Structure 1
Amino acid sequence: MYNADKTLGADQDYLISAFLENEETGMKIEGPGKLSRQKAKPVTISLNKFDLSDLPSGNFNIVVEVRDRENNLLATQKEFIQRSNPRKDVSMDGITGAIAANSFIQGNTTTDSLREAVRSLVPRSSNSELMFIRHQTPQADRQSLERFFITFWTERAGSRAAYEWNEYYKLVQYAQKKYSNGTNRGYESGRGYYFCKYGRPDHVIGNRFHNVVYPYEIWHYYDVGEQRDVKFVFYTRDVATRTYELLHSNLMGEVENPHWIENLWRLESQGNSNYDTEFQEYMDYYGNKILDEYNSPY
C-alpha cells in the first residue's frame, strides 16, 4: 500500500482485508480470509497466507480491499487463481455425517420436500456445498439428501441444529411469501436471497420519490458478523414485475457500487439535450435526500 499517509493523513487507522471469491458468481468464500489494521504510512507491506486445504477445485479471485475508519472502500485489487483439489471435490460419498435414528427430519417429510429444503440452503452454503446442491441434489436419493442436510446444520449448530433449521426455515417461508415471483422462489430472488443469508434487517426504507427514481429499498443491519452499520440497496428497473436486485452494499465481499445513487435515476440521457442540467438538479436535491436516508435510516 503506497501513500496512505497522503490519502488518509499520517498514522490514521485503516483496514486491509484479503479474502477469496468465486470467480464465476462473485460470492465470497467462507473461511479463508485475513483482516489487518494498519496505520497510514508512505509504504505498508501486508503479507498473508491462506489455508487452501479445504478449498475445492474451481476458479477463484484473491481479493484485497482497503477501507478507511468509516468503512469506505479506498482501493481494491483482484488476482485470478485456478484451484485443483480432487480430494475435496464434492461427491455424495464425500459428505460425511451419520444420520441419527431419530433425527429432526427423518420420517417427517417427503423426499421432494427434503430436496426443496436442501435447495433452500443456497444463501448460506459454502462453495463446495453449492456444488452439491446445484449438480447432485436433482437426482440424489433420500439418504444422500438427509446426510447432506444433517451435516450442514450439525456442523454449524451442533446440538442446536434442529432449532437453527427451524429459525432459518421461518426466513425461507417469509421470503417465499414476500419476495417470490413467477420465475424465482423467494430465497432465489434478489431481496429474498439476502434476507435468508443475513436475516431480517433492523430497518427498511422504501422509495419515497416514485416519479423520479426507480423503486428501491435500503436495508440496514446493526451488525453482520464483525462488521457494524451494514447497508444494502436494492432496486428494480422492471416496474411491472418489481424484481429487485442488489445495487450496492457496504458489506465487505458484497457488491459495492459507488454510483448507486446515479443509477437510481429514471431519466435516460439519449436524445435529451438537458440531461446534464437535469442530472445535476437530481443529484443536488433527490440525491442528497436519498443519501440522508442511507446514512440515517432511523
Structure 2
Amino acid sequence: KAIAYADSSYGACRNGHGAETDMGYIYLRYGPPNTVVKRHNETDYYPYEIWHYHRAGPFTNKRFLFFSPHMVAECFTILHSDMLGEVQNSDWLHQLRNRENRLRVTDSQLNRLNPRRDTFSGEEPEDLFFNPR
C-alpha cells in the first residue's frame, strides 16, 4: 500500500516508479512527514520542498529538503537533511539559490538588503528549514 502511494504520488518523472525517487525512498523509510513546506514558484530559488518529521525512526525533529534543479515540478531530488545517515550538504542554501545565477535574474532591492530572503514569498529557505511551519 505504501509503495502504491509512493508510485502514484512521486512517480511522474520515473514512469510511475515513485518508490525509486528520493521522495519515494524517504516516504517509504520514514512514513508521511508531519509538515511539508512547498515552494514551487519562487523567483530566486529552484522549486523546493521541506519535509519535517516529529519522529523519524529513533530520532526526533528531522528535516529533508528536496529541490528540482531541472525545473520539472514532479522531479525532486534530495539536497540536504539533518538526519544521520542521509544526504547532508553544507552548501545546500547556495545550491538552492543557484537558479538566480543560471537564469541571470537581477537582484531586487530586497535581495540587496537581505541576500537570503526570497522575493516571491518573503520567506527565507534557511528559516523554513530550521523552523518548519
TM (norm. structure 1) is 0.37
Determine if contact 1:172/1:196 at 8 Å carries over to the other structure. Answer: yes
* 1:230-241 superposed matches below 5 A: 230-240=62-72
| TM-superposition CA deviations, 1:19-78 (whole Å, max 9, x none) | xxxxxxxxxxxxxxxxxxxxxxxxxxxxxxxxxxxxxxxxxxxxxxxxxxxxxxxxxxxx
* Residues 1:281 and 1:253: Cα distance change in structure 2 (over 3 Å): same
**Alpha-carbon distance change, 251 to 279 in structure 1, aligned in 2, over 3 angstroms:** farther
Write the distance in 2 (CA, Å) between the matches of 1:234 and 1:270. 20
State the partner residue of 1:293: 128
Matches within 5 A, 1:183-194: 183-184=14-15, 185-194=17-26
The answer to whether the aligner puts 1:255 opposite 2:87 as a matched pair is yes
Pair 1:246-2:85 in alignment: no
- Of 39, 50, 53 in structure 2, the residue corresponding to residue 218 of structure 1 is 50
Counterpart of 1:202? 34
Root-mean-square deviation (Å): 2.7
Other-structure match for 1:177:
8
Higher relative contact order (CA 8 A, sep 6+): 2
Which residue matches 1:264?
96
- Specify the SS of the correspondent of 1:267: helix
2: CA distance, partners of 1:296 / 1:224: 17
1:133-184, Cα deviation, whole Å (9 max, x unpaired): xxxxxxxxxxxxxxxxxxxxxxxxxxxxxxxxxxxx2x21211111102535
Q: Post-superposition shift, 1:295?
A: 1.7
Residues in 2 aligned to 1:215 and 1:232: alpha-carbon distance in whole angstroms? 14
Report % sequence identity. 29
1:86-118 per-residue CA deviation (whole Å, 9 max, x = no partner) reads xxxxxxxxxxxxxxxxxxxxxxxxxxxxxxxxx
Structure 1 residues 269 and 221: CA distance shift in structure 2, 3 A: same
Letter in 1 for 2:76: Y
Q: Confirm or deny that 1:282 pairs with 2:115.
A: yes
Q: Secondary structure at the match of 1:294?
A: helix
TM-score, normalising length from structure 2? 0.79
- Give secondary structure in 2 for the equivalent of 1:172: helix
SS of 2:115's equivalent in the other structure is: helix
5+ residue gaps, structure 1, are 1-168
Q: Tell me the equivalent position of 1:132.
A: none
Q: Relative to 1, partners in 2 of residues 1:178 and 1:279: Cα closer, same or farther, differing over 3 Å?
A: farther
> Aligned equivalents of 1:188 and 1:252: distance in 2?
21
Q: List per-residue Cα deviations over 1:180-232 (Å, max 9, x = no partner).
A: 02535010012111111111111101006522211100000011122110000
SS at match of 1:282: coil
CA contact (8 A) 1:190 1:243 kept: no
- 1:282 is matched by which residue type in structure 2? P
- C-alpha distance in structure 2 between counterparts of 1:190 and 1:232, whole Å: 10
Structure 2: unaligned runs, 5 residues or longer: none
Does the C-alpha gap of structure 1 residues 212 and 182 become closer, same or farther in structure 2, counting only changes over 3 Å?
A: closer
Please say which structure displays the higher CA radius of gyration. Answer: 1
